[in-house]
Structure 1
Amino acid sequence: MKAYFLRWIVCLCLIGTAALAQTPAGDGSPATAIEGDWLVESRDAVIRIQREGDTFVGAIVWQLHDRYGAEDGPELDGKIVTDRHNPDPALRSRPLTGLRLLWGLHYDADAHAWVDGRVYNTDNGKQYHCEIHLPSPDRLVLRGYIGITLLGGSTNWTRTHEPFPVSSGSASSAR
C-alpha cells in the first residue's frame, strides 16, 4: 500500500511539473493576468494591454470602423478615423488604430486590481483616472472616474484570442 501511495505522489509531481512547463509566457503572477487583447463592450474595438516597465498600458489594435462612413459627412467619408475630439488641434489628425488610451496602471495585490491609471476617451477627448478589476480570467471591468471612484462609470471588456475580423474600411477599396 505504501509503495502504491508513493508512486501516486511521484506521478502527481510529474504531472504538476509538466503543467508548469506548459504555462504561457509571462511571469505567471496575478499582475500579468491583465495582459492580452480585450474586446470592448460595444464590440467595435480591441485593446491590447501589455506591461511597460512596472506599469501596464493599452492601445487600440483593431477597430470595426477604421474609416469614416458617409454618415460622417462628405469631407470625412472614406478617410481613416482619427482622434478628432482631442483638445489639442495638433493631435486631431492622428489615427485611432495604434493610439495608446490606457497608461500608468499598477497592480495592487491587496485590492486585486490595477490602479492609479489613466484612460483617454476618444469620444470626447478627455482623460480620466481609472482602475481595472478582473472578475474572471476572460472578463475585465474598467472604471473611469473623476477624483473618486464614485464619480465615474464602468465598462466590461471580454478577452479575445481570435484573429480580428476585417475592418469595414479594410474591406473597401482605398480612397
Structure 2
Amino acid sequence: MKKLFLLFTILFSTLTFSSEDNIQGKWITEKAKNGNQIIVEFYQVNNKYFGKINTLTIPVYEKGHKLEGQTKIDLANPDENLKNRPLVGINFVSDFTYNPKKDRFENGFIYNPENGKTYYCSISFKDPNTLIVKGSLDRSGLIGSKQIWKKIK
C-alpha cells in the first residue's frame, strides 16, 4: 500500500509540474468576429508567465478600413504613445503565476486589442493541447467569458 501511495504521489507531482511547463510555446486563439485568430507565444520570466502576439491570421486591415492593406497596429490603446505600435510582438497576456494546488495560471491579465481594454484572466488546461482562457471584469472571475486555445505543434 505504501508503494502504491508513493507511486501515486510521484505520478501526480510529475503531472502537475509538466502542466506548468506545458504552457510554454505557441497557442492559437478562437476566431474573432472578423475571422482573425492570434497565435500567442508563452514564455516565463522570473516565475511569471507572459504571452506575446506572435502572428495574426489576418495581419493587415481589411477592405473598407481607413488603414486598408496596412499592418495592424494598436489603434484602440488608451495610451496615445502606443497607438501606432504593431500588434505583433506585444504582450497579449501577462503577469501570470502558476498555482499548483489548482493546476492553473492566476492573477494575470489579458489585453483586448479590439477595444484597448485589459481584463483579469486565469488559464487552465483542459488537456495538454487545450487551454481554457477566462477573461473577466472582476478579479474573482464571475463576470466574463472564456475561450478555448489550441496548442500549435
TM-score category by the smaller chain? 0.7 to 0.9
TM-score by length of 2: 0.82
Deviation, 1:30, is: 2.9
Match of 1:35 in 2: 24
Q: 1:114 aligns with which of 87, 101, 105?
A: 105
CA contact (8 A) 1:39 1:45 kept: yes
- Note if 1:81 corresponds to 2:76: no
CA contact (8 A) 1:40 1:157 kept: yes
Looking at structure 1, the residues matched to 22 and 146 of structure 2 have their Cα atoms a distance apart, in angstroms, of 19
Match of 1:64 in 2: 57
Which structure: larger Rg? 1
TM-score by length of 1: 0.72
CA contact (8 A) 1:116 1:129 kept: yes
Match of 2:123 in 1: 132
CA contact (8 A) 1:142 1:155 kept: yes
Deviation, 1:34, is: 1.0
Match of 1:123 in 2: 114
Alignment of 1:44-63 (within 5 A): 44-63=37-56
Deviation, 1:69, is: 2.4
User: Which whole-Å deviations, capped at 9, do the CAs of 1:76-112 have from their partners, x for residues lacking one?
Assistant: 1121100000011111100001111111101101101
Q: Indicate the percent of aligned positions where both proteins have the same amino acid.
A: 27
One-letter amino acid of the counterpart of residue 98, structure 1: G
Looking at structure 2, the residues matched to 44 and 105 of structure 1 have their Cα atoms a distance apart, in angstroms, of 22
Which protein has the bigger strand share? Answer: 2
CA contact (8 A) 1:68 1:80 kept: yes
Deviation, 1:46, is: 0.4
Runs of 4+ in structure 1 deviating by more than 4 angstroms, as ranges, are: none
Return 5+ residue gaps in structure 1 as ranges. 1-27, 162-175
CA contact (8 A) 1:32 1:51 kept: no
Looking at structure 1, the residues matched to 38 and 19 of structure 2 have their Cα atoms a distance apart, in angstroms, of 25
Which protein has the bigger helix share? Answer: 1
Looking at structure 2, the residues matched to 146 and 32 of structure 1 have their Cα atoms a distance apart, in angstroms, of 27
Looking at structure 1, the residues matched to 62 and 108 of structure 2 have their Cα atoms a distance apart, in angstroms, of 33
Looking at structure 2, the residues matched to 157 and 71 of structure 1 have their Cα atoms a distance apart, in angstroms, of 29
Deviation, 1:41, is: 0.8
Return 5+ residue gaps in structure 2 as ranges. 1-16
